[in-house]
Chains A and B, each alone.
Chain A
Amino acid sequence: MEHSKQLDGLVGPEESTRILGALQRGASRRDVLALLTGAGMQAALAGSIAGVATAAHAQTPRKGGRIKVAGATAAVSDTLDPARQSNHTDYIRGFMFYNSLTYLDGSLTPQPQLAEEFTTKDAKTWVLKLRKGVTFHDGKPLTPQDVIFSLMRHKNPATGSRAKALADQIEEVVASGPNEVTIRLAAPNADLPVVLGTYHFHIVKDGTTDFNAGIGTGPYKLKEFRPGVRAVGVRNENYWKPNRPYLDEIEHVGIGDEPARVNALLTGELDLITAVNPRSVERVKASPKHAVFETKAGLYSNLIMRRDNGPGTNPDFVLGMKHLFNREQMVKSIVIGHGVVGNDQPIHPSMRFYAKGLKQRPYDPEKAKWHFQRANIGSAAIPVVVSPAAINSVEMALVLQHAARQSGVNLDVRRMPADGYWAQHWMKHPVGFGTINPRPSVDVMLSLFFKSDSPQNESGWKNEKFDQLLLAARAETDEAKRAQTYADLQAMIHNEGNIGIPFFMSNLDGHSRKLKGMTPIPLGGMMGYMFSEHAWLEA
């Protein structure tokens, strides 16, 4: 970990993740050198970085050991049904017991997993070659039938799948060979391998109705599962990835109380915990036996100004509010530096197709005042709905309220309970806050929250041109063209969208220093919840 930190310092965390990821996939020191000099780095500097990188990677993983991991939630609704997983403790269990067809690496690029190969000509018909010799925990070999069942069940409303909206684009899945399936989509989607790499699309056995046995093809076999209490997985000795996983056993519990989680980590009862409050980071760091694992990812809370109702109907009000975010100060005071300044568009800098050229919107009370005057806001109080359910929204609204007062706008911060917030308040008030978890691709992000006909279009923003471009980008197989379109879309949201995103929050995990092998995957904490396959314990 010291080496990887050094590497972070030299090339920045994103780049170091890419390099370490490449090494993990089998790149040699020579490849890394080529990668660095290819990116325009001087040969001497590149040489020293490659040295650190290979040293960081050289610690050989050791087999054995048992760890206890804590997520932040536990309830009787805990499930092992991939379609119904709804929070990170479900996802962690999902990645322990199941595999998906692809997986997403440190830059969220899809990589082969149960599908050895995925090819398409038109992004509409996809041919997936399944890996041979993969068996489920009960010994049954993986067949196309399992894949067909696993994908098609999302479309059935009775399944209650949370990924139904994504699965509805799948027209049919057929077995086109003994180890091959063909997926036909309703409309082209170049991102299908990304979608298939997400947790809801884990592959289960054909015909499964009771998921409590947790039979998958994943690195761990289920030993015990008690919803709301704990889950234990033991190493799958027949796992198809050679030498994986490393740990003998993982016990997973959910602890809702953050101080309790941190205390139990510090006393050595837990080896890995998620969702560490930025304010606890110093406490964890002060312990010689523990460290913080930071994943800079696309988690954000945003100000939603409805387009169809209230002051958000006036574009000048929206622009004024966007200029009121003192972003640097918010990152510093609200998340104690564990975040990245946002630019009122939802794509995090770590993601593929992030638009680099977009100009950063500054904190500018004067400009805000000018916009407010044009919008003729007056002094009537504007209610802003916040809740502990929308992470940090209370603090964000208070900072905003202070800034607004100086520009002559009176914000009335109304705090709602976390319980029931998403169903009762989110998107339902003219001005309010929401929280969006990282999503695997630009397309998923924009389709869910900005496309005119999406039920989760938070601000009710409707733009025909945006929808057309989004569909065109989805169908585009040329990466450069896609990047250009996505950059245009991000610019549109930045300029015209009715949301304000002041900053992205990092996912913070605490862990024992003995626990090694984790690299950030910007889908969430704990390697995008995939740590179980990669983590190993120092003797």
Chain B
Amino acid sequence: MNSTILRMVAGRVLSGFGSLLAVSVVVFAITAVLPGDAAEEKLGQDATPEAVSALRKEMGLDRSAVERYVSWLGGIATGDPGKSVVNGMPVSEAVASRLPNSLLLAAVTAACAVPLALGLGILCALWRGSTFDRVTSMTTVAVVCVPEFLVATLAVLVFAVHLEWLPALSSAASLSSPGEMLRSFALPVLALGSVITAQMLRMTRAAVIDQLSAAYVEMVRLKGATAARTVLFHALPNAIGPIANAVALSLSYLLGGVIIIEVIFNYPGIAKLMVDAVAQRDMPLVQACTMIFCAAYLILVLLADVCGIVANPRLRHQ
């Protein structure tokens, strides 16, 4: 049993590297097609052909795209993601100063959202059709439909500007004490959490309901198990696969898709770093961020699969 899982993980890791490589080629090609390069972006209105070519030379953009890609790939293989062409700072340094912030925000959001979503989802499935289920379902549909920038903006207007309970900005620098952190993170976590909670909740509910309507659950009921026991020990283990996948998809979104939250709360995370890098055509930085997002996604999906297989022995033999 263990060897099956190990073999599967190894296979996934290998194909993961393949995916990363493919993504890096695609991203490099797409950014090469974008109009303008780092030198032109940097000089903006002051760009004269002479200044642009001097700057290009300094940034190493006078080499061909293939050449730049190959040297970048060589750097990555040896663990050196290179230097930002825009400010000459090592990419690893830029990422290292931003990634922990994003991970922290993602972790706090996940810690709040996952238990909430799973708990509510199971309850909804259990009490399907009840007032509780209908109210929760209506609310989650409504929340999923509202884009998070609107949630964030409204939350800031209400809780920061009018009530003055919470700060309107969330800088990672003000996280010295737990109380400060709570205040600082409350609004971003609320905005981020509401969308993914709603998604996970609906998936959980659907997965559990799916299991509850299966024949073996009827058998469990006929044997006289309590409702709680039926759900927790019989239906849930079989629903873990789809639930883990829903959680993984939602969490991967937390790392890469939070750009709007980072903008609204001026939070120095990695998504904003990457968007800036794209706007400035800073290829080494764009590539490094892409790799991180892509790797995070692959790892989460892999974990979800492993969870599903461990929870459901039947999957091991397919």
Seen from chain A, the residues whose Cβ lies within 8 Å of a Cβ on chain B are 70, 75-79, 86, 157-158, 160, 162, 164-165, 226-230, 253, 255-257, 259-260, 263-264, 266-270, 419-420, 422-424, 426, 434, 455-456
Residues from chain A with a CB closer than 8 A to the CB of B84 are: 76
Q: Is B35 an interface residue (CB 8 A)?
A: yes
Verify A422–B44 contact, CB threshold 8 A.
Answer: yes
A165 to B48, CA, bound (A): 9
Chain A residues near B264 (CB-CB < 8 A): 257, 259-260
B244 to chain A, nearest CB (A): 35
- The smallest beta-carbon distance between B61 and chain A, in angstroms, is 12
- Of the stretches B7-15, B102-110, B224-232, B265-273, the one at the interface is B265-273
CB distance from B39 to the nearest CB of A (A): 9
Q: Is the CB of A226 within 8 A of B97?
A: yes
Provide the residues of chain B in CB contact with A226, threshold 8 Å.
97, 268
B156 near A255 (CB under 8 angstroms)?
no
CB-defined contacts of A434 to chain B, threshold 8 Å: 45
The answer, yes or no, to whether B6 is at the interface (CB within 8 Å) is no
B130-138, B157-165, B193-201: which lies at the interface: B157-165
Closest 7 CB pairs of A and B: A157-B54, A423-B40, A75-B276, A263-B168, A455-B48, A423-B36, A420-B36
B45 & A426 in contact (Cβ 8 Å cutoff): yes
The distance in angstroms between the C-alpha atoms of A189 and B33, with both chains bound, is: 44
Distance of A419 Cα from B37 Cα, bound (Å)? 11
Secondary structure of the B contact surface, majority rule? helix
A263 touches B51 (CB 8 A): no
| A423 and B47 contact, CB distance less than 8 A | yes
**A residues within 8 A CB of B97?**
226, 229
Residues of B within 8 A of A267 (CB): 160-161, 164, 167-168
Flag if B167 contacts A228 (CB, 8 Å): no
**How far in angstroms is the closest Cβ of chain A from B137?**
32
Q: How far is the CB of B269 from chain A (nearest CB, A)?
A: 10
Residues on B with beta carbons closer than 8 Å to the beta carbon of A86: 42-44, 46
Residues from chain B with a CB closer than 8 A to the CB of A455 are 48-49
Give chain A nearest CB distance to B124 CB in angstroms.
35
Q: Are A77's CB and B161's CB within 8 A?
A: no
**Given A77-B87, A267-B168, A269-B168, CB of A164 within 8 Å of CB of B51:** yes
Q: B58 contacts which chain A residues (CB < 8 A)?
A: 158, 160
The stretch from B64-72, B111-119, B278-286, B306-314 touching chain A is: B278-286
Known: A75-B280, A253-B171, A260-B156. 16 other contacts (CB 8 A): A76-B94, A77-B280, A158-B58, A160-B54, A162-B43, A165-B48, A228-B272, A257-B264, A259-B264, A264-B167, A267-B161, A269-B169, A420-B35, A423-B36, A423-B43, A424-B35
Query: Which chain B residues numbered 16 to 67 have a C-beta less than 8 Å away from chain A?
Result: 34-36, 40-51, 54-55, 58
Given A227-B89, A260-B265: A77 and B42 interface contact (C-beta under 8 Å): yes
Q: How far is the CA of A256 from the CA of B156 in the complex (A)?
A: 16
The answer to whether A162 touches B46, judged by C-beta atoms less than 8 angstroms apart, is: yes
Inter-chain contacts of B55 with A (CB < 8 A)? 160
Q: 21 A-B residue contacts at CB 8 Å? A: A76-B282, A78-B87, A86-B44, A160-B42, A162-B46, A227-B87, A229-B268, A230-B171, A253-B266, A257-B264, A259-B153, A260-B169, A260-B263, A267-B161, A267-B168, A419-B279, A420-B34, A420-B35, A422-B40, A423-B40, A424-B36
Shortest Cβ distance from A163 into B: residue? B46
What per-residue 1/0 map shows which CB atoms of B251-268 lie under 8 Å from chain A? Answer: 000000000000111101
Are A76 and B86 also in contact (CB < 8 A) when A164-B51, A228-B273, A260-B168 are? yes
Asked whether, in the complex, the Cβ of B153 is within 8 Å of the Cβ of A76, the reply is no
